[in-house]
Amino acid sequence: MMEIKFIERKDLKEKPDMSTVKFGSQFTDYMLTASYDEANGWHDWRIEPYGPIQIAPTAVVLHYAQTVFEGLKAYSVDGEAVLFRPDQNFARLNRSLERMSMAKIDEVEALTALKELLKIEKDWIPTGEGQSLYIRPFVFGDDHTLGVHPSDTYKFMILLSPVGGLFSAGTMGTTKIYVEDKFVRAVRGGVGEAKTGGNYAASMKAQEVAEGLGYDQVLWLDGVEQKYLEEVGAMNIFFVKDGELYTPELNGSILPGVTRMSIIEFAKDAGYKVHEARIPLTDLEAGLKDGSVTEVFGAGTAAVVAPVGELNIHGNKYVVGDGNVGPVAQEIYTTLTGIQNGKVEDKFNWIVKVDE
Amino acid sequence: MMEIKFIERKDLKEKPDMSTVKFGSQFTDYMLTASYDEANGWHDWRIEPYGPIQIAPTAVVLHYAQTVFEGLKAYSVDGEAVLFRPDQNFARLNRSLERMSMAKIDEVEALTALKELLKIEKDWIPTGEGQSLYIRPFVFGDDHTLGVHPSDTYKFMILLSPVGGLFSAGTMGTTKIYVEDKFVRAVRGGVGEAKTGGNYAASMKAQEVAEGLGYDQVLWLDGVEQKYLEEVGAMNIFFVKDGELYTPELNGSILPGVTRMSIIEFAKDAGYKVHEARIPLTDLEAGLKDGSVTEVFGAGTAAVVAPVGELNIHGNKYVVGDGNVGPVAQEIYTTLTGIQNGKVEDKFNWIVKVDE
């Protein structure tokens, strides 16, 4: 196992007021860094004071966006730090690195490094209802020439950011979604299934337009025919029709979400019929019209479950169910967050303790 | 007009041996930087010693790839520094910035800043046959939070890199091209027409696979049907059929190249019939089979013109013409580079003098 150098800082920061903290705006005292080159592989692992980094102005990430990231969370359960399925995040990190022609990382070493960082930063995990410590591992190319080619050198970093729940207990809100029929996020044969920066840069204009129209998020359609459901904002999408769950199948242009996967596993176990399929927007629209679609929700690490109250499809506005949080979304949210904060039995073995 | 602060360095670098220099690997003594925030607009313009920059580990560019760039060249003509159509590059920079929801820049200020930098770095413009000073303006988001949204702050930079000609005089070589039918670079509704990092990151895997098969570059097809010509590598594509020029029309997923535009303007003026159209790959293939297509070439700032000697279309290999540089590519190359280095009259008013 690799050695991790610990560079201690003199003064620790004050912890933020968690009742007002904005997602991804506060960071802990330390961050993890490691470097890659062909001769040494991943080396120079450090836990060092959080702060600015030095980068060559020619770094591949600045010009050609060679970057991938992950997002997961640590929770405090009875004073102990736990993680939710971190193996899935590091496995996906490697699939993203492979797709973007970047140096892969040893998943065990990456998890070990994260655990070491969390042992030091344990006090930063907030303990309030729905609160957690958001974890941002990322890798970027920092090679020093301008040719368009994969970098020869990479940097791996992990940042930690305490976050509040998006919703307070029992008051999960709903979002308004705009179905995007002009802009496209990804297409088969592209990089849609990789968690790479370019997918997010490509989504910003549509998000801006949707917000201007009074919507919270965009529902993306497939890039080829612009007829099939893909994702909602930066989350996967589910809906409930006649009591059964539907979500777009993984087709190469959809991000394979860890929350998505967990919802499918939980729902099947709980007796729901789950359909992973190529789903025409017209099917969803017909179900909203005739009332057979009773719930629509996004699924992702940040919100866990984000119920949709209203959908705008080509200018037609549909209220989903009665516009409030539906029972299936509520059940999934309660169960997943319950497993994460130790209030529901972890029958799927999803929880990993930091101290083991 | 803005003020530019000059931070002088003590020791200047030694100039590299231009006969061996690799594209984008050597940089001059100074670089230009400017910062943007909403309150101050673009400000803090500096010409400072070339070197690493400091960046927040949360910078939007590192996670969500909010970055756009440009590429153009300065030439030395009778000891005087000149630029080729820089107004077109800064106009495109702004179109890219707009598409990526980034802060736009004043095109006149950007050109002024570039000229000031070039006045200081004039001695770095190499004077040998086919040599020039490659100019890399770029803008990236460096905001300090992890939410997926356009950055509130941006950095504009210009780097300068002396480059040799890709081909020595009279010995322009040909490249081997692999028609890509699995990976996709861009799709209508996406960001293909913006010069943004994600498009280049998305191209690296296909390039790697093509190189593994013995090819120099990839010919991209459209993302929707994978039937129509788009680009070749990071260049636009042209071919000559029955003595007439063909190039894919700008459709939103193709980069609007300055070299592409200049070739079209020159060729029309020189009496060629030029077709900008949606071109099925099958048309190109039929023309290669029956011999009516006599030349294929890429067009971009780095190579100016890059003749294609061989094309692999779905496993079928086609030699273009006699496999050597054709007369139309040669004429265009000679004229464009001639205008750039002052040997051919600039009848289109494309040349901008740095000292005026």
Q: What whole-number distance in Å separates Cα of residue B221 and Cα of residue A193?
A: 20
Does pLDDT of B168 surpass 80? no
Which range among A182-191, B23-32, B164-173 shows the weakest confidence by mean pLDDT?
Answer: B164-173
Q: What is the mean pLDDT of residues A158-169?
A: 78
| Mean of all residue pLDDT scores within chain B | 95
What ipTM does the predicted assembly reach? 0.97
Does pLDDT of B167 surpass 60? no
* Whole-Å CA distances, A356 to A102, A115, A137, B112, B271: 30, 9, 20, 60, 76
CA dihedral A286, A291, A294, A295 (to 10 degrees): 40
Q: What whole-number distance in Å separates Cα of residue B45 and Cα of residue B99?
A: 24
**Cβ B146–A161 below 8 Å, yes or no?**
yes
**pLDDT, tens digit, 9 for 90 and up, residues B263-315:** 999 999 999 999 999 999 999 999 999 999 999 999 999 889 999 999 999 99
Contacts of B190 in chain A (CB under 8 A): 183-187, 202, 223
Most distant CA atoms of chain B, gap in Å: 63
Contacts of B61 in chain A (CB under 8 A): 61-62, 65, 197
CATH placement of domain B4-163: 3.30.470.10
**pLDDT, tens digit, 9 for 90 and up, residues A324-335:** 999 999 999 999
**pLDDT, tens digit, 9 for 90 and up, residues A131-160:** 999 999 999 999 989 999 999 999 999 999
Nearest-Cα distance to chain B for A38, in Å, is 17
Mutate to test the interface with B, among A143, A158, A195, A204 (most CBs of B within 10 A): A204
Of A351, A329, A327, nearest in space to A340 by CA? A351
**pLDDT, tens digit, 9 for 90 and up, residues B108-148:** 999 999 999 999 999 999 998 889 999 999 999 999 899 99
Structure tokens at B87: 């107004």
Which residue of chain B is at minimal alpha-carbon distance from A302? B147
**Cβ B22–A208 below 8 Å, yes or no?**
no
**pLDDT band with cut points at 50, 70 and 90 for residue A166:** low
Helix (H, G, I), strand (E, B) or coil at B182: coil
For CA atoms A304, B141, B69, A211, give the dihedral sign. positive
**pLDDT, tens digit, 9 for 90 and up, residues A64-80:** 999 999 999 999 999 99
How many A×B Cβ pairs under 8 Å? 217
CA dihedral A257, A261, A266, A268 (to 10 degrees): 140
**Cβ A208–B101 below 8 Å, yes or no?**
yes
**Cβ B223–A190 below 8 Å, yes or no?**
yes
**Cβ B67–A67 below 8 Å, yes or no?**
no
Nearest-Cα distance to chain B for A295, in Å, is 25
Q: Which CATH superfamily is domain A175-340 in?
A: D-amino Acid Aminotransferase, subunit A, domain 2 (3.20.10.10)
Given A50, A147, A207, which is nearest B24 (Cβ)?
A147
Exposure string of A288-324, with b = 16+ CB inside 10 Å and e = fewer, is beeeebbbbbbbbbbbbbbbbbbbbbeeeebebbeee
Most distant CA atoms of chain A, gap in Å: 63
Let me know if B80 is exposed, middle or buried by CB neighbors in 10 A (0-12, 13-18, 19+).
middle
Nearest-Cα distance to chain B for A133, in Å, is 13
**Cβ A61–B64 below 8 Å, yes or no?**
no
Q: Do domains A4-163 and A175-340 have the same CATH topology?
A: no
Angle between helices A327-340 and A258-269 (to 10 degrees): 110
Nearest-Cα distance to chain A for B347, in Å, is 32
Domains in chain A: boundaries: 4-163, 175-340
Contacts of B136 in chain A (CB under 8 A): 63, 146
Given A53, A159, A188, which is nearest B55 (Cβ)?
A53
**pLDDT band with cut points at 50, 70 and 90 for residue A169:** very low
Given A55, A157, A188, which is nearest B53 (Cβ)?
A55
Q: What whole-number distance in Å separates Cα of residue B98 and Cα of residue A272?
A: 45
Which residue of chain A is at minimal alpha-carbon distance from B70? A63
